[in-house]
C-alpha cells in the first residue's frame, strides 16, 4: 500500500478579492452552498432548478427556452457554445482583442471550423468597421464571435452594434459575457444575441465552477439541424436539454453539482432582488470612486474611458515598480488580492476587479490606501 498522507484541515485566510475573479463571494451564497445535499432528481431540487432557470433568464434578459447552467467553469461554457453550434467547415468570424478572443479561435479550430480573424489591439474594443469589412468579405460566414467584456484588458465592446452587424450579414452571434453579466448593461433578446455564456465567479459573486449559458431559437434550430454529432458528450446540449426541460420529466444526463447550484440560485436571487439596473449603476458608481483614487496615485488606465469596464480596471504598473513584490505585499499584509496582467499585459499591468459583492466602498478604500502605502 502507498501510505496515507496526513494533512490538517485546510483553513483559508479571509482575502479581499479584487482581481479578475473569483470575486468576493456573498456570505449568503457560501451559506446556501453548505445546505444539505439532496439528490439531483429529488422533486424539491427539480423545483429549485426551475427557479434557477428563470433567474438566469432574468440576468441575461432573455426568454430563451434553452437557458441552463453548465456544470463546469466559464471555459466550458465557451466550449458548450462552440461545440454545439460550429460544425466542421463552418466559417466563423472571430474578434480578438485579448486572451479570450484567442481562446475562441482555438475553440473554432478544434471544432473543425474555418476561422476569419478580426484583430484589435489589446485594450481596445472590437472595431465595428473592421468587423463589417470581414463580414462583407466573407458572405459564407455563419457566425460572428466576440467577447463583450475582455477580462484580460478591461475593454468593453459594443455588443448591441456587433449583433446588428451580424444580423445584417445573416450570421448568428456567439458572445462571451463572462465578465459582463451583472456588471454592465446586457440584453440578450433585445440585442439579438444567439449564444451566450458567462461564469459564476465574476459579477454574480458566486463560487467559481458554473457557467450560465443561453441559446436563441435560431441557435437551437442550427443545433437541431446538425449533420454531425456534437463532439463532446458532456457538453452536448441535445442531451443536456432533457434534464433542464420544463416538462416535468427530468432525464438523467450527468449528476448535477447540487450544492454549487444552490449557490448560483442564491447569488442570482440577490441580483434579482437588487435589480439588474441598480447593479449596473452600482458598478459604475464604484468604478468612478476607484478611478478618482487610482488617478490620484498617478496610475494610468490601459483602456480609454469610453470603452472602459467599470468592473475590471486595468492600470499600467509604474516604471521601476516590482509587480510581484507589490502583489505579494498586498496579499500578505492586507489580505488583498489584485490581479496580475495576462498575456500581452503580463508584468505590465494590474487588473483591479470591482465585481458583484466586491464592488463596494469599503473595498475601494482599502485598496487605495493599501496601494498608496505599498507604492510609497
- Could you say whether residue 57 binds its own copies (CB under 8 A)? yes
Min separation Cβ 129 and its own copies, Å = 30
User: Which one among 3, 129, 225, 306 touches its own copies, defined by CB under 8 A?
Assistant: 3
Quick check: helix, strand or coil at residue 335? coil
For residues 69 and 267, what is the distance between their CA atoms, to the nearest angstrom?
A: 13
Q: Which of 221, 178, 223 is nearest to 203 (CA)?
A: 178
Using the rule CB under 8 A, is 25 a contact of its own copies? yes
Does 44 help bind its own copies (rule: CB under 8 A)?
yes
- Taking residue 83's Cβ as centre, other Cβ atoms within 10 Å add up to 20
When the beta carbons of 23 and 307 are compared against its own copies, the nearer one is 23
> Looking at 66, 76, 85, 359, which residue binds its own copies (CB under 8 A)?
76
Nearest to 73, CA basis, from 203, 207, 195, 210? 210
Collapsing DSSP states into helix, strand and coil, what is residue 37?
coil
Residue 150, all three cell numbers: 475582455
Q: Which stretch binds its own copies (CB under 8 A): 27-35, 164-172, 283-291, 295-303?
A: 27-35
Binding to its own copies by residue 198, rule CB under 8 A?
Answer: no
Chain residues 316-335 in contact with its own copies, contact rule CB under 8 A: 331
Instruction: Return the residue of 85, 118, 342, 359 that touches its own copies, per CB under 8 A.
Output: 342
Residue in 135, 291, 337, 364 binding its own copies, rule: CB under 8 A: 337
Does residue 268 contact residue 315 with C-beta atoms inside 8 Å?
no
The number of residues that bind its own copies (CB under 8 A) is 96
Q: How many CB atoms lie within 10 A of CB 325?
A: 10
Stretch that binds its own copies, among 90-98, 166-174, 289-297, 337-345 (CB under 8 A): 337-345
Cis? peptide before 277, omega within 30° of 0: no
For residue 303, the SS3 value is coil
Residue 376 within binding range of its own copies, rule CB under 8 A: no
Query: Which residue in the set 4, 129, 225, 306 belongs to the binding site for its own copies (CB under 8 A)?
Result: 4
x/- map, 269-308, its own copies, by CB under 8 A: x--xx-xxx-------------------------------
Q: How far is the CB of 204 from its own copies (least distance, A)?
A: 13
CB neighbour list of residue 263: distance below 8 Å, 6 or more residues apart:
29, 30, 32, 33, 200, 206, 207
User: Which residue's CB is nearer to its own copies, number 165 or number 178?
Assistant: 178
Helix, strand or coil for residue 61? coil
Grid cell listed for 347: 508584468
* Stretch binding its own copies (CB under 8 A), from 24-32, 121-129, 159-167, 298-306: 24-32
Which runs of consecutive H residues, i.e. helices, occur in 111-257? 128-137, 159-168, 188-191, 217-224, 237-244
Binding mask 155-184 for its own copies (x = CB under 8 A): ------------------------------
Q: In terms of CB distance, is 139 or 246 closer to its own copies?
A: 246
253 belongs to the binding site for its own copies (CB under 8 A) = yes
Cell numbers standing for residue 362: 469599503
What CA–CA distance (Å, rounded) separates 70 from 347? 33
Point out which span in 165-173, 247-255, 284-292, 367-375 binds its own copies (CB under 8 A).
247-255
- Residues 199 to 228 in contact with its own copies, rule: CB under 8 A: 199, 201, 207-209
DSSP string, 224-273: HT-SS--S-STT-HHHHHHHH-TTS-PPPSS---HHHHHHHHHHHHHHHH
- Give min distance, CB of 210 to its own copies, in A: 8
Task: State the Cα–Cα distance between residues 28 and 265, nearest whole angstrom.
Answer: 11
Amino acid at each position: 500500500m502507498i501510505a496515507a498522507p496526513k494533512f490538517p484541515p485546510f483553513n483559508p485566510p479571509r482575502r479581499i478579492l479584487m482581481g479578475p475573479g473569483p470575486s468576493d463571494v456573498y456570505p449568503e451564497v457560501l451559506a446556501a452552498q453548505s445546505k444539505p445535499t439532496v439528490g439531483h432528481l429529488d422533486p424539491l431540487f427539480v423545483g429549485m432548478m426551475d427557479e434557477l432557470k428563470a433567474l438566469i433568464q432574468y440576468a441575461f434578459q432573455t426568454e430563451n427556452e434553452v437557458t441552463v447552467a453548465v456544470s463546469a467553469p466559464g471555459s466550458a461554457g465557451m466550449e458548450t457554445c462552440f461545440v454545439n453550434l460550429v460544425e466542421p467547415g463552418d466559417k466563423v468570424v472571430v474578434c480578438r482583442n485579448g486572451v479570450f478572443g484567442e481562446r475562441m479561435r482555438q475553440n473554432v479550430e478544434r471544432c473543425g471550423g474555418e476561422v476569419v480573424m478580426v484583430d484589435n489591439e489589446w485594450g481596445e474594443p472590437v472595431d465595428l468597421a473592421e468587423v463589417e469589412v470581414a463580414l462583407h468579405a466573407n458572405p459564407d460566414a455563419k457566425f460572428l464571435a466576440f467577447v463583450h467584456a475582455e477580462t484580460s484588458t478591461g475593454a468593453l465592446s459594443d455588443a448591441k452594434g456587433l449583433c446588428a452587424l451580424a444580423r445584417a450579414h445573416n450570421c448568428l452571434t456567439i458572445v462571451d459575457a463572462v465578465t459582463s453579466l451583472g456588471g454592465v448593461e446586457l440584453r440578450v433578446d433585445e440585442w439579438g444575441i444567439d449564444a451566450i455564456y458567462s461564469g459564476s465567479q465574476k459579477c454574480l459573486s458566486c463560487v467559481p465552477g458554473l457557467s450560465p449559458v443561453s441559446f436563441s431559437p435560431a441557435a437551437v434550430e442550427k443545433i437541431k439541424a446538425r449533420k454531425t454529432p456534437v463532439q463532446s458528450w458532456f457538453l452536448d446540449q441535445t442531451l443536456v436539454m432533457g434534464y433542464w426541460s420544463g416538462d416535468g420529466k427530468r432525464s438523467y444526463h450527468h449528476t448535477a453539482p447540487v450544492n454549487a447550484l444552490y449557490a448560483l440560485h442564491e447569488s442570482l436571487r440577490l441580483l434579482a432582488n437588487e435589480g439588474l439596473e441598480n447593479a449596473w449603476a452600482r458598478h459604475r458608481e464604484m468604478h468612478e470612486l476607484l478611478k478618482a483614487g487610482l488617478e490620484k496615485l498617478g496610475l494610468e488606465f490601459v483602456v480609454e474611458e469610453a470603452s472602459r469596464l467599470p468592473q475590471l480596471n486595468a492600470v499600467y504598473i509604474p516604471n521601476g515598480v516590482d509587480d510581484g513584490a507589490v502583489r505579494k505585499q498586498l496579499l500578505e499584509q492586507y489580505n488583498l488580492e489584485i490581479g496580475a496582467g495576462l498575456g500581452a499585459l503580463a508584468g505590465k499591468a494590474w487588473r483591479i476587479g470591482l465585481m458583484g459583492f466586491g464592488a463596494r466602498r469599503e473595498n475601494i478604500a482599502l485598496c487605495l490606501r493599501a496601494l498608496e502605502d505599498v507604492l510609497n
